[in-house]
Structure 1
Amino acid sequence: MDHGTLEREIHIDATPDVVFDVVSNPEHVREWWPDEAEYPVEPGGEGHIAFDGHPVRFTVVDAIPPKLFSFRWTHAEGETAAPGNSFLVVFELEPAGTGTRLRMTETGFRERGWDEAKIAAEYADHESGWDHFLPRIPAVTAKVGATS
């Protein structure tokens, strides 16, 4: 396994507009992913997310409703998010029947300058994390869609 790109795809019974809101808006992101999320939903928007009180840097790369939301995360305090110091996560949304196909990719494992053991460990950690968190998105979209 090359541990270069992590990819997942799920179908969600909600419109791309609702899915975009759920994967980009910090208020909704907190419902399915981190405990805390604070950042502006605009290219270059900087902030943080936190898991169990441990903050992680977060920078929005692109926000193109309702098609694409991408961000870099895990870069060190005082550094600008870039290849080599952070992971890049891209959510691509496409209408699919009465719902949305959400494709998530995460890259940046090989670019960090780590040895093979560290790359494999980080990749496995992120893989299990996304496998846990992504399936939580449909329930949040159902709730958000019912109130919009």
Structure 2
Amino acid sequence: MNTQTRTVVVEREIAHPPEKLWRALTQPHLIAEWLMRNDFAPHVGHKFTLTGDWGSVECDVLTVEPGKALTYTWNHVHDDPAFDLRSVVCFTLTPTASGTVLRMEQTGFRPEQKQAFGGARYGWEEHFTNLERVLAGME
């Protein structure tokens, strides 16, 4: 039996400083604009829910390093256990001369979860595009 899990990685250089990006990753009203509705708080151990039109994701904050890294669980419980996704999302911010490299890794996709893996790969690219739009509108 294959127990290897797969990881989605999306990395993009964004022309905004880490502090501004951090706000968009950790303030609920901003998260709602680029990702999903939520009750997020940047505190280790905080449990929160991300809610989209298609359903919801149960999350638990694992690490908070202001301006540098944010990690939380990303658990989507489905009616069919084969579609349950138990994963971890990690954002890493690296300052550059012209802004910040934002790296997102979502680990924990089982080999048979091809649809979830493909959806996440596509979805995070879209979320990053939305995030850039939100950043452009922020003070």
The TM-score normalised by the length of structure 2 is: 0.84
Aligned-partner residue type, residue 127 of structure 2: F
Corresponding residue to 2:117 among 98, 116, 123: 123
Q: What RMSD, in angstroms, separates the aligned Cα atoms of the two structures?
A: 2.0
Aligned-partner residue type, residue 136 of structure 1: N
* Structure 1 position 53, deviation (Å): 6.6
Residues 1:72 and 2:73 aligned together: yes
Render the CA deviation track for 1:88-128: whole Å, top value 9, x for unaligned.
11110011113111011110113xxxxx4x32121011111
- Distance, in Å, in 2 between the alignment partners of 1:74 and 1:127 is 16
- Distance, in Å, in 2 between the alignment partners of 1:103 and 1:53 is 25
Q: Unpaired segments of 5 or more residues in structure 1? A: 77-83, 111-115
| Count of aligned pairs | 130
Aligned-partner residue type, residue 137 of structure 2: K
- Distance, in Å, in 2 between the alignment partners of 1:23 and 1:40 is 10
Residues 1:138 and 2:138 aligned together: no
Aligned-partner residue type, residue 100 of structure 1: T
Identity of aligned residues (%): 25
- Give 1:77-116 correspondences, 5 Å limit: 86-110=86-110, 116=111
The equivalent residue for 1:8 is 10
- Distance, in Å, in 2 between the alignment partners of 1:65 and 1:44 is 15
The equivalent residue for 1:20 is 22
* Structure 1 position 85, deviation (Å): 6.3
Asked if the contact 2:85–2:109 (Cα under 8 Å) also holds between the matched residues in 1, the reply is: no
Q: Whose strand proportion is higher, 1 or 2?
A: 2
* Structure 1 position 31, deviation (Å): 0.6
The TM-score normalised by the length of structure 1 is: 0.79
Q: Unpaired segments of 5 or more residues in structure 2? A: 78-83
* Structure 1 position 24, deviation (Å): 2.1
**C-alpha spacing 1:126/1:53, structure 2 compared with 1 (3 Å):** closer
Runs of 4+ in 1 over 4 A off after TM superposition: none
Aligned-partner residue type, residue 47 of structure 1: F
